[in-house]
Amino acid sequence: MESFRGDLIEWFKKEQRTLPWRENQDPYRVWISEIMLQQTKVETVIPYFEQFIRKFPTLEDLAAADEQEVLKAWEGLGYYSRARNLQTAVREVVSEYHSEVPKTVEEIGSLKGVGPYTQGAILSIAYDLPVPAVDGNVMRVLSRVLLVDEDIAKQSTRKLFELLVSSLISSKDPSSFNQGLMELGAIVCTPKSPSCLLCPVQEHCRAFHKGVEQELPVKSSKKTQKVLRYRTYVVENERGEVLIEKRPENGLLANLWQYPMVKEEEVEEGDLDGLKIEENGMIDRVRHTFSHLIWEMEVHRAEAVSGTVQREDARFVPKETIKNYPFPVSHQKIHPHLR
């Protein structure tokens, strides 16, 4: 009877998917892929990764780029602080580490946006170092194989799994071990209906033997989202330009652009923070769900009459240039109304 570790690695080497970031072990490419893959499905990431690498082929290219350009390349991927932290970290690697991604847990873990999972993933995949990389897949797989019923929503539970992985990980091929756990979780040991009959480590799985694989992992539920109602304006001036504004540099959708929004309870008809407008009716309702809240937007069309907007970073721009600005998906839904 082979070991869990041996069976897992053998399976991974044979069955792993062909993915663009698996072409080589370039630490930069591994890094980019790991950041993009945070809370994001493989199929979603693939086109973003390829386009991103084309646009920023090296650490130096990304370090030298304009932040708005990076956000534009990230447009639609979500969790935009990932992009801004990534560029901050890349700049630090260029200036403080001679453009070489550091090889120690302490150094790489100090980079912005590189947490406990990502540091292990980069060190094991790019540098073949035996460091745990515990993500949601790993916790699901190991909670079943080892019959662990701790709440995986708690941070302390992730540390428990890091300890377990440390004792299980292969010193010969830590990359295949870590990736094998994740690949197994993504393809076989899925959350809903795991394919236990096809599982390469079935004989090692305590949950399967007890018939409780569907009950694991244990995860406490999160609460419901808050609903926020906005009126969103598509304001055109006499030159046919459209009003857009840049969001604050911190918080939700930081530094992205949007059509000006006003909380529904703060709407003043005919006035958009100092800009006198003539409203021409509602043209759409856009509902956008975030992980923690919901926007319900009434989109109104309007013409600028007089005055100026007392809003930070608001400006009229030609319609053709809208595509050059990074917009959240909620506002991309409004773009078609411009033609």
Binding site for DNA (CB under 7 A): 19, 33-34, 37-44, 76-81, 85, 112-119, 121, 135-137, 140, 153-157, 179, 182-183, 185-186, 191-193, 219, 221-224, 251-254, 288-293, 328-330
* β partners of residue 269: none
For strands 293-306 and 226-236, give the pairing: parallel
In this complex, which beta carbon is closest to DNA, that of residue 98 or of residue 223? 223
In this complex, which beta carbon is closest to DNA, that of residue 33 or of residue 304? 33
CB of 306 to DNA, least distance (A): 33
The answer to whether the beta carbons of residues 137 and 181 sit under 8 Å apart is yes
In this complex, which beta carbon is closest to DNA, that of residue 19 or of residue 305? 19
Q: Which of 34, 183, 213, 236 is catalytic?
A: 34
Ramachandran region, residue 247 (left: φ > 0; alpha: ψ -120 to 50; beta: rest): beta
The answer to whether the beta carbons of residues 230 and 295 sit under 8 Å apart is yes
CA proximity to 120, closest of 53, 182, 185, 50:
182
CB of 134 to DNA, least distance (A): 8
Say whether the peptide bond before residue 217 is cis (omega within 30 degrees of 0): yes
In this complex, which beta carbon is closest to DNA, that of residue 79 or of residue 316? 79
CB of 240 to DNA, least distance (A): 27
CB neighbours of 289 closer than 8 A, spacing ≥ 6? 225, 295
In this complex, which beta carbon is closest to DNA, that of residue 44 or of residue 68? 44
Reply yes or no on whether 245 is catalytic: no
Q: What are phi and psi of 276, to 5 degrees?
A: -80, 130
Q: What are phi and psi of 255, to 5 degrees?
A: 65, 10
CB of 183 to DNA, least distance (A): 6
CB of 126 to DNA, least distance (A): 12
Cα–Cα distance between 119 and 100 in angstroms, integer? 15
* Neighbour count for residue 115 (Cβ, 10 Å): 12
Active-site positions?
Answer: 34
